[in-house]
Amino acid sequence: MAVRGSSGSKLGFYPNLNVRNIAQEWVQESRRLFYLRTANNVTNNIYKGSTTLWAGNVQNELSEDRRGLNYPYLQNLRERVSSNSIVNRHGNSQELVRHRMVNQPVQSVPAPISVVNNSAKCLSMPRASKVEIPWRDYSPAEDPLLDKANTEVILELDDKVHDGDDKKEKKLVVKKVVSPLPTKAVFSEESLKARKALASIYDKVLVVDNIESARSIVKLLTTKYKSFIHACDTEVANIEAKEETPVGHGEVICFSIYSANSDVQAADFGNGKTCIWVDVLDGGRGVLMEFAPFFEDPSIKKVWHNYSFDNHVIENYGIKVAGFRADTMHLARLWDSSRKIDGGYSLEGLTNDRRVMDTVPEDLPKPGKISMKTIFGRKKVRKDGSEGKVVSIDPVKELQREDRELWICYSSLDSMSTLRLYESLKRKLETRRWVLDGCPRGTMYDFYEQYWCPFGALLVKMETEGMLVDRGYLSEIEKAAIAERELAADKFRKWASKYCPDAKYMNVNSDTQIRQLLFGGIENRHKSGETWPQSKTFKVLNEENVATEGKKTSKYRTIKLCSIVEDLKTDMFTPSGWPSASGDALRSLAGKIPTEYIYTMGDIQEDDEDSSGSENPDGDSSYGTAYEAFGGGKNGKEACHAIAALCEICSIDSLISNFILPLQGDRISCAEGRIHCSLNINTETGRLSARTPNLQNQPALEKDRYKIRQAFVAAPGNSLIVADYGQLELRILAHLTNCKSMLDAFKAGGDFHSRTAMNMYQHIRDAVHEKKVLLEWHPQPGQEKPPVPLLKDAFGAERRKAKMLNFSIAYGKTALGLSRDWKVSVKEARDTLKLWYGDRKEVLAWQKSQKKLAREKCEVYTLLGRSRHFPNLTQFGPGQRGHIERAAINAPVQGSAADVAMCAMLEIERNARLKELGWRLLLQVHDEVILEGPSESAEVAKAIVVECMSKPFHGTNILKVDLAVDAKCAKSWYAAK
């Protein structure tokens, strides 16, 4: 066992360790990862062949980690180093050259040597065409870098002559790495107190660290305490829980189980031990496997806090966890869906909140969990003796071994407080009545058992399934996207540098810099008096190694950007009052520019007469406000083209860094190439949200310029079924408000928006009555065209408005907002709104009632009876009050839609036939579900899915409207839409 004592760790001797090779590999790998993280800056470096990297960012990967060494590649290297498996690629040269840039600021990255010792230390790495100092001339004692990095690395030269090598190169071996803490780290007063309190539970913990004791405990758990409720919690190393999927990642180092019966009586494991703590790290994997019968028994009920995570890390060992009883996170969300403060839904926040924990159990030292930071966090001491600010926590494995007693207490407390939290929340939910669509149905805990508990288990299953991603395709479109972005960026920079030379080096991704160029000198809309400066300096990467006079070239240089245009008019502003540099704003400046102008660098010919103004000299183009501001004519056109290019850059860049790159990363996908996002019930309305990566915001079909959805595919021999509800929220609104007009419109079927338009406008109604237009048209055999125009063609503008209103009303959109969107007067917008409400009085009345509910009871309810709580309205100003009122009318609609979608998924999950055919749910996107299964049964399965979704409430539909479902099957997500 590696123990770091005061004398430092012993690493032994690695005869064939070619540090340089490892280092280079390491650099390449970190470049790749780095590139994934910050597409913008680093792609430039990569494409220009520089090897420069920032140590800081890479180090962050390590230091951010509180749970041990997480960086997968480093982990891999570490294993290779310690298993002596590194062989010299060339078989001869064992020379390590220590590269240093003479007289340069140190460009350092942590080198693999430090990896051995589990912490980031710096050795500088080569940079192209710089002076290199060979290692043999290098003296660590004189290297200021080592001081800087607070490292003490002892590297020794091996004097052995290489066989038959007349060059007699010396080679470097890593003899020893001593890594004392740079400065002493200390616990704060608060930590010391917490540690003392925590230590008191040690007597109650039974430590299991060998197979024999594991066996006897599992026997107890599966017999005597079988009917108890067991709270379980794992501690995991080697995972960045915020960024990585736990599917296929992470190493369980220990876990704890705390059990109690229905009388809140804790299980007794002898000698007053009530909590089991199992050491997997040093007890071995076998100890964990002994617990498989316990975890896998569906009749043994387990409670978890964030079940998803623990489930995945345990399943990574091949244990199929069953017997899911409750997830305290979901219980807490059900109890109060809008905890934003007091620790949110973290175990610590919940268990220390008196409103949540009704009784403070006497066997816990504090009301609840104490954070890792409080117990194990230490502040570094500065050289002058003062207390530093940064709190550091040792990797969890070290904690488990070196601060063992406290660690055991800490870990055990997690399961203990989880169980207490469960009991408390259960009691609370049991006191709350459950009313489903107006009918009393018991308590909210019953609701949990019937809906969210199986739903929680289903979500975990879906996460485990994951979605297959075609990486080859993604790397293809990545190339295309990067090429287009570079082209557009060059075009813009070239144009801008005509007005402001330094713009040649600007960062086109910085909205601040764009704002500087276009709106310098403009006054803040909200705070009169404040103006954006005329010019400003920015730090940018020194890509072309431009030397500032008197100084050597360095990584950064400053550029000065100044306003390049006077009085550019814009009507879009950010919330803080500055002009917006968003795509929308820029597009209105540029006007409508055909794409061929965006990706061509050629200058505009002076062919057409200047007098054309902004009229439309080039056929397809129509120029925006920038045309005039830049003086019209050729300059005006160029400006518009360049600004249009800028819009493209923004959207391309976000496509790359939000979708294309993350989907290819290893952090979030697994060996089989499937993406496992985490699906959470963590919204205030009860919708799902998806993370790491967020698969719910993949570009929609129309906007998907690179067809990213085409990268989501079915496995060979399989197909996807994509099924979505049509106008789900509107149907819910019709049901909730009992609005006759809407219910009728849905009953009649066809195009709902056309029908809305007809009900709003008398002249359309007349036209329909006189059969001058058709509401909708189902082509009969032999008919090529409809006999009379369709409503949506004849009255396109009206229908668009109607559609817009249909969507906006549920959100509580105001006349003012509409007027701005439609660029009409407020009065006109208000009149249109009145038209919409004209035959939908029930909606207006219902909205009023919801506002009243929010005001008086501070709560509104969804179809299934979940509540959303609001703060007392009287304490807010009109602005916030308006926001809460809109939320109050939106929450029941959105929440009920989420309820319906959940029911549909449960219905699909329960369907035996689908299971038999091998179809599995993969993903839900609010009103859409995606399944994967064998192609041969796709059509059958599709019909079943449609059936489940249209009758989602145990085979019936309790709504007053039908649920329209559109389903397709295909090989990819793109094709199935």
Partner DNA sequence: TCGTAGTACCTC
Partner DNA sequence: CACTGAGGTACTACGA
Does residue 421 sit in helix, strand or coil? helix
- Who contacts 521 (Cβ-Cβ below 8 Å, separation ≥6)? 531, 532, 533, 534, 563, 566
583 binds DNA (CB under 7 A): yes
Positions in 46-85 near DNA (CB under 7 A): 55-56, 59-60, 63-64
Task: Name every residue whose Cβ is closer than 8 Å to that of residue 187 and which is 6 or more positions away in sequence.
Answer: 195, 377, 378
CB 792, min distance to DNA, A: 20
**Of residues 519-578, which lie at the interface with DNA (CB under 7 A)?**
538-539, 574-576, 578
* Nearer residue to DNA within complex by CB, 35 or 187: 35
Closest contact distance (angstroms) between CB of 897 and DNA is 8
Residue 581 found at the interface with DNA (CB under 7 A):
yes
Cα separation, 904 vs 732, whole angstroms: 14
Select from 371, 741, 814, 935 the one that contacts DNA (CB under 7 A). 814
Our separate counts of H helices and E strands in the chain read 37, 30
Among 69, 458, 585, 791, indicate the residue that binds DNA (CB under 7 A): 585
For residue 511, state whether it binds DNA (rule: CB under 7 A).
yes
Determine, following the binding rule CB under 7 A, whether residue 680 of this chain makes contact with DNA.
Answer: yes
Decide if residue 698 touches DNA (CB under 7 A): yes
One character per residue 141-180, x = contact with DNA (rule: CB under 7 A): ----------------------------------------
Contacts of 925 (CB under 8 A, 6+ apart): 695, 696, 724
Of 216, 696, 741, 935, which one interacts with DNA (CB under 7 A)?
696
Q: If binding means CB under 7 A, how many residues of this protein chain bind DNA?
A: 83
Instruction: Write the secondary structure of 770-826 as one string of H (helix), E (strand) and C (coil).
Output: CCCCECCCCCCCCCCCCCCCEHHHHCHHHHHHHHHHHHHHCCCCCHHHHHHHHCCCH
- Which residue's CB is nearer to DNA, number 569 or number 772? 569
**Subset of residues 895 to 934 that bind DNA, contact rule: CB under 7 A:** 925-928
Cα separation, 272 vs 202, whole angstroms: 11
What string of H, E and C letters represents the secondary structure of 348-363?
HHHHCCCCCCCCCCCC
Q: Which two tokens stand for residue 875?
A: 């304490």
- Count other Cβ atoms within 10 Å, centred on residue 259: 28
CA neighbor of 626 nearest in space, from 645, 613, 643:
643
Pattern 612-651, DNA, x by CB under 7 A: -----------------------------------x--xx
For residues 48 and 484, give the distance between their C-alpha atoms in angstroms, rounded to a whole number.
Answer: 17
- Work out whether 509 is an interface residue with DNA (CB under 7 A): yes
Closest by Cα among 716, 152, 252, 240 to 468: 716
Considering beta carbons, is residue 234 or 337 the nearer one to DNA?
Answer: 337
Least gap, CB of 428 to DNA (angstroms):
21
Q: Are strands 718-725 and 965-970 parallel, antiparallel or unpaired?
A: antiparallel
Task: Rule CB under 7 A: choose which of 821, 831, 859, 939 binds DNA.
Answer: 821
The binder of DNA chosen from 73, 811, 837, 876 (CB under 7 A): 811
Is 306 a residue that touches DNA (CB under 7 A)?
no
Of residues 25 through 44, those in contact with DNA by CB under 7 A are: 37-41
Minimum distance from CB of 609 to DNA (Å)? 34
Interface segment toward DNA; rule CB under 7 A; list 159-167, 200-208, 689-697, 902-910 = 689-697
Which one among 88, 188, 346, 510 touches DNA, defined by CB under 7 A?
A: 510
Q: Which of 694, 710, 741, 957 binds DNA (CB under 7 A)?
A: 694
The answer to whether 908 and 931 have CB atoms below 8 angstroms apart is: yes
Element (H, E) at 255: strand 251-260
Question: Which of the ranges 345-353, 818-826, 833-841, 939-947 carries the binding residues for DNA, by CB under 7 A?
Answer: 818-826
Within 861-880, which residues bind DNA (CB under 7 A)? 877-879
Closest CB to DNA among 416 and 488? Answer: 488
Residue 646: in which H helix or E strand, if any?
A: helix 633-655
* Residue where the block lists tokens 């704002």: 515
Smallest gap, in angstroms, from Cβ of residue 124 to DNA?
Answer: 13
Q: How far is CA 115 from the centre of its chain?
A: 28
Which one of residues 117, 692, 737, 756 is an interface residue with DNA (CB under 7 A)?
A: 692
Expressed in percent and rounded to 5, the helix, strand and coil fractions of the chain are: 45, 15, 40
Q: Report the amino acid identity of residue 273.
A: K
Considering the complex, state which of residue 34 and residue 255 has its C-beta at the smaller distance from DNA.
34
- Taking the CB of residue 560, how many other CB atoms lie within 10 A of it? 13
Phi-psi region of 731 (alpha: psi -120 to 50; beta: other; left: phi over 0): alpha
Q: What are phi and psi of 305, to 5 degrees?
A: -110, 110
Which helix (DSSP H) or strand (DSSP E) does residue 930 occupy? strand 928-934
512 binds DNA (CB under 7 A): yes
The answer to whether residue 690 forms part of the interface with DNA (CB under 7 A) is yes
Q: Considering the complex, state which of residue 270 and residue 501 has its C-beta at the smaller distance from DNA.
A: 501
Among 65-73, 423-431, 694-702, 950-958, the segment contacting DNA (CB under 7 A): 694-702
CA distance 35 to 656: 11
Among positions 374, 737, 890, 937, the unique one binding DNA when judged by CB under 7 A: 890
Among 662, 865, 933, 952, binds DNA (CB under 7 A): 662
**What tokens were used for 314?**
């345990």
Q: How far is the CB of 390 from DNA (least distance, A)?
A: 6
* From 24, 188, 657, 741, residue interacting with DNA (rule: CB under 7 A): 657
What is the closest distance, in whole angstroms, from the C-beta atom of residue 277 to DNA in the complex? Answer: 29
Query: How far apart are CB 572 and DNA at their closest, in Å?
Result: 8
Does 808 help bind DNA (rule: CB under 7 A)?
yes
Which amino acid is located at 12 in the chain? G
* Distance in Å, CB of 888 to DNA, minimum: 9
